[in-house]
Chain A
Amino acid sequence: MANNGILQGSFFMDGDTACAEGALAAGCRFFGGYPITPATEIAERMVLRLPQVDGTYIQMEDEIASMNAVLGASWGGARAMTATSGPGFSLMMENLGLGIMTETPCVVVNVQRGGPSTGMPTLVGQGDMMQARWGSHGDYEIIALAPSSPQELFDLTIRAFNLAEKYRTPVLVMTDETVGHMSERVIIPPPEEIEHYPRRKPDVPPSADYLPYKSEPNSVPPMACAGDGYRVHVTGLTHNEKGYPDTVNLDVQQQMLERLINKIQHNKDDIIELHEDQVEGADIVVVAYGISARTAARPIRLAREMGLKVGLLKLVTVWPFAEERIRELAPKIKAFVVPEINMGQIVLEVERCAAGQTETILVPHAGGGLHKTKDVLATIKKFA
């Protein structure tokens, strides 16, 4: 361990632990959560480690409270995170919306399990992907990342914190039980190699004219926190540039919502990360994310051994969706094959963007396990 309390070197650890270590390396100093399988190990690691880096852990009374505490801590100036799974994720939806509306940087990790409802607490699922996009009421954009291994969970947790600060928004890390619970080698680089996007503070002194939600097109306003002297007013109601509620003026609503959406939409090139493997020239492109992108590698390899031209498009960033890339590929290929551990969620996005120019085929899985190699392979072969 380096003397600042942050790990450095090679470790053999599970995904949940790697997630916690990634958060700490990213400067997370507050965790508010509620125990839930299969995300509890993240909380357990944080409560052990946060005191070693002068951070604070609190186990809240439920996930509603956890989400609020995270928002509060962020406004107090801390990098803040919570972690949960399906049932808790549902409870967090209310104030995920508050975080989006008030432009509060924070990270929410969902270690997905089988659902709906309490479902399969100890087994894998990817059924919360649309909830991640649309789960809180109202209209908004969201950023969601999907790791395929403990190392990626470490790396993407750091990236989530940086994106949260850069775009002043909650960022979701949509992992799953398999990745969360599997142990693998995780390499933690020295601190100077870890990207750190600092919180942007106002570049004007405090005054009564200060506009905490200044609306420049696609802009992300700097953030004055509580105690900084700016005396900000922050509300979940529709608000003007000053942050004051204005709940009947349609222009204020339009301007505010457009900016909230455009700050993500217009920066998709920066936010969207894709990993492509032999996509150019492929007949079949497998579109997958998280653990399913990893299990897809095997049927893809077997198909290639049979002489088929198959590519893998891995969505590291699931939201915002990589629609331009799907549109670009659609006319060039025979089919998109989409394996996911649900009965068809992200496939709807692929299909929308393919817009009838090619086949879009779901390989569903009801949850609790991973796709069988033969099932994905059979679908690839059928459409190749």
Chain B
Amino acid sequence: MNEELSNVLISKEHPMDDYLREDRLPHIWCSGCGLGTILTSFVSALQKSGLDRDKVAVVSGIGCTGRAAGYLYLDGFHTTHGRAIPFATGLKLGNPELKVVVISGDGDLVAIGGNHFIHAARRNMDITVICVNNFNYGMTSGQMGPTTPTGARTSTSPYGNHEPPFSVPYLAAASGATYVARWTSLHIRRLEDSILEALNKKGFSVVEIISPCPTYYGKKNKMGSALQQMKYYHENSVIRHGSDPAESGIDLGGEIVVGCFINKDKPTFLDSQKRSV
């Protein structure tokens, strides 16, 4: 391609440049990881939302997903392991004008941060939680976690995981979340729409995103290359909007129910507090 032609066809600027901290790129995520496309879906949704970017803050915990806050050119808080939600709670209450988004992993949010997750849902704290679930602790080289399917192998379940996992949508719904959806990192358009809905939702909104971890979880469970793992997610995902979150459990090698499970309105923590005083 000659230079003239490339100047026409290839833009020097990426449409998302303004949303990313260019000086922090390249990111640390592995090739084949779903986090890149997830971040893209988030930025697209944010662009469509019309939210004032100076009033959007992202809070992360620790882990691969925990790095998301660091790549977005927004007010970003990279907190301690599991503590993104209580930090986000304080941030929202300290300045209720902010749209506060938690982006973190399954281990961070529902293991070490599990108590915070259910209580923020219970009190309907007005924050959006994007939970990227790769079924293991990727950052620390693939240990089992609270979402690891029974039977799956990880570095700390070498004989196969003997514990039953949490289903994030079921946990969120049972705890009182106003919006609960699940997609895989392959459903980028539907995911973007869901994130947009979650951002616009008042109250505790949760979007779980199933994401491949070819480096650890995929490898340990013989799911093949990153591409094969994605193909598996693609072929085994079943869209069931409005279905019972109790039926959203994920078995090793089984189907992955995706869609929007819950979308309802109820007073947020601050609404209720104002009314009670």
Within 8 A of B (CB), among A68-95: 68-78, 80, 94-95
Indicate if the CB atoms of A69 and B95 lie closer than 8 Å: no
Which segment, of B85-93, B199-207, B250-258, faces chain A?
A: B85-93
Q: Check if B80 sits within 8 Å of A98, measured CB to CB.
A: yes
A231/B75 in contact, CB under 8 A:
yes
Q: Which residues of B contact A229 (CB under 8 A)?
A: 54
Give B54-102 interface residues, CB cut-off 8 Å to A. 54-55, 57, 59, 69-70, 73-80, 83, 85-95, 97-98
How distant is A144 from chain B, measured CB to nearest CB, in Å?
A: 22
Bound complex: CA A35 to CA B204 (Å):
25
Which residue of the partner chain, among A58, A76, A95, A233, contacts B78 with CB atoms under 8 Å? A233
Q: List B residues 234-264 near A (Cβ within 8 Å).
A: none
> Count the A-B residue pairs with Cβ separation under 8 angstroms: how many?
142
Interface code A91-121, partner B: CB below 8 Å = 1, 0 otherwise?
0001101100000000000000000000000
A69–B87 contact, CB under 8 A? yes
- Within the complex, the shortest CB–CB distance from B270 to chain A, in Å, comes to 8
Partner of A244, one of B24, B77, B116, B277: B24
| Given A30-B90, A98-B79, A233-B70: A78 in contact with B115 (beta carbons within 8 A) | no
Distance of A103 Cα from B139 Cα, bound (Å): 26
Could you tell me which residues of chain A, from 242 to 259, have a CB within 8 Å of some CB in chain B? 242, 244-245
Give which listed residue, B53, B69, B80, B93, contacts A30 with CB less than 8 A: B93
| Stretch in A59-67, A318-326, A327-335 touching the partner | A59-67
A54 to chain B, nearest CB (A): 11
Given contacts A95-B83, A236-B80, contact A72 B73 (CB under 8 A): no
Residues A231 and B73 in contact, CB atoms below 8 Å apart: yes
Bound Cα distance A94, B59 (Å): 17
Question: With a CB–CB cut-off of 8 A, which chain A residues contact B92?
Answer: 72, 76
Q: How far is the CB of A152 from chain B (nearest CB, A)?
A: 28
Contact B98 A232 (CB under 8 A): no
Which A residues between 179 and 211 are near B, CB-CB below 8 angstroms? 208
Residue of A nearest to B274 (CB): A51
Least Cβ–Cβ distance between B277 and chain A, in angstroms: 4
Interface on chain B toward A: helix, strand, loop, or mixed SS?
A: helix
Is the C-beta of A226 less than 8 angstroms from some C-beta in chain B? yes
Per-residue CB contact flags for chain B residues 32-46 toward chain A (1 = under 8 Å, else 0) read: 000000000000000
Q: Which of A70, A236, A244, A245 contacts B79 (CB 8 A)?
A: A236
- Identity of the chain A residue whose Cβ is nearest the Cβ of B77 in the assembled complex: A234
A227 contacts chain B at the CB level, 8 A cutoff: yes
Closest to A77 in B: B95
Closest to A70 in B: B90
Chain A residue with minimal CB distance to B118?
A61
A227 touches B86 (CB 8 A): no
A76 to nearest B CB, angstroms?
Answer: 2
Residues in B neighbouring A56, C-beta threshold 8 A:
93-94, 270, 273
In the bound complex, residues from chain B placing their C-beta under 8 Å from that of A373 are none
Report the minimal beta-carbon distance from A234 to chain B, rounded to whole angstroms: 5
B88: chain A residues within 8 A (beta carbon): 72
Distance (whole angstroms) from the CB of A58 to the closest CB of chain B: 6
Q: Residues of B contacting A98 with CB < 8 Å?
A: 79-80, 83
A348 at interface by CB-CB < 8 Å: no
Q: Which residues from chain B contact A95 at a C-beta distance below 8 Å? A: 79-80, 83
A236 pairs with B116, CB closer than 8 A: no
Q: Which residues of B contact A278 (CB under 8 A)?
A: none
CA distance A6 to B82 in the complex (A): 37
Q: Which residues of B contact A150 (CB under 8 A)?
A: none
The reply on A237 being an interface residue by CB < 8 A is: yes
B95/A236 in contact, CB under 8 A: no
- A65:B76 contact, CB within 8 angstroms: no
* Interface residue B220 (Cβ < 8 Å from any Cβ of A): no
Tell whether A131 is near chain B: CB-to-CB under 8 Å.
Answer: no
| Bound form: Cα–Cα A232–B74 in Å | 7
Q: Would you call A225 an interface residue if the criterion is a C-beta within 8 Å of the partner chain's C-beta atoms?
A: yes
How distant is the Cα of A80 from the Cα of B92 in the complex, in angstroms?
13
| CB pair A94 B86 closer than 8 Å | no
| Interface residue A32 (Cβ < 8 Å from any Cβ of B) | yes
Complex CA–CA separation, A244 to B57 (angstroms): 16
**Known interface pairs A231-B74, A236-B79, A244-B24; A72-B69 also in contact (CB < 8 Å):** no
Contact, CB under 8 Å: B86 / A60: yes
The yes or no answer to A267 lying at the interface (CB within 8 A) is: no
Question: What CA separation (Å) do A237 and B80 show in the bound complex?
Answer: 9
Output the least CB separation between A45 and chain B (Å).
Answer: 15
Interface set, chain B 92-140, CB cutoff 8 A to A: 92-95, 97-98, 115-116, 119
Docked pose: A32 CA to B116 CA in angstroms: 13
Chain B residues with Cβ below 8 Å from A51 are 277
Bound together, the chains give a CA A51 to CA B277 distance in angstroms of 7
User: Nearest residue in B to A94 (C-beta to C-beta)?
Assistant: B80
| 23 contacting pairs across A/B (C-beta < 8 A) | A32-B89, A32-B90, A65-B86, A66-B86, A69-B86, A72-B89, A72-B92, A73-B90, A75-B91, A76-B93, A76-B98, A78-B95, A94-B80, A226-B95, A227-B95, A227-B97, A227-B98, A230-B75, A232-B75, A234-B76, A236-B79, A244-B23, A245-B78
